[in-house]
Amino acid sequence: MPHYRAYEHGDLDAVAALWLDSFLSVGLGIEAGPVEALRARIPLELADDWQVTVAMESGEIVGFLAVKPATKVLDQLFITPSAKGMGIGTALLQKAMALMPAGFTLRTQRDNQRARAFYIARGLRQIEPPVAASAFSYPVVYYAWP
């Protein structure tokens, strides 16, 4: 049974590796960048209001959630490929809902049908992009809750 806790400094390498593995497992052919770039990004995001929760199973990090409550954004939600379908994503999404009960937005890759179905099945709704132009090199869609 997974348990959930706040991110700790010693989680950096495991979270960066999980993030990359999960991103690549979607198989959309989008450049994720090297794991070193994710390792460098995490401390910057933490300094910019990221609040991170990790999911632990048998002493290993199997998922993570990063939210920015000040801007009401669920920024990242990733599960290690071998743990997908075990309810960890749902539990992390519920944590985001508890941390931001007034609501939030998120984005996902347009072609990531599994993620899109996951969010719709849990009551999120697709919305128009909150900004005029996307900063991403790939198409994204936005969702909101509630």
- Give the pTM: 0.91
Superfamily of domain 3-145: Gcn5-related N-acetyltransferase (GNAT) (3.40.630.30)
Tell me the CA end-to-end span of the chain in Å, nearest whole number.
28
Separation between Cα atoms, residue 62 and residue 31, nearest integer Å: 22
Res 56: pLDDT: 98
**pLDDT tens profile 47-92:** 999 999 999 999 999 999 999 999 999 999 999 999 999 999 999 9
The residue among 23, 10, 24 whose CA lies nearest residue 54 is 10
Q: Domain extents for the chain?
A: 3-145
Reading the block at residue 118, the tokens are 């996951």
Residue 77 near residue 92 (C-beta atoms within 8 A): yes
**pLDDT tens profile 1-22:** 899 999 999 999 999 999 999 9
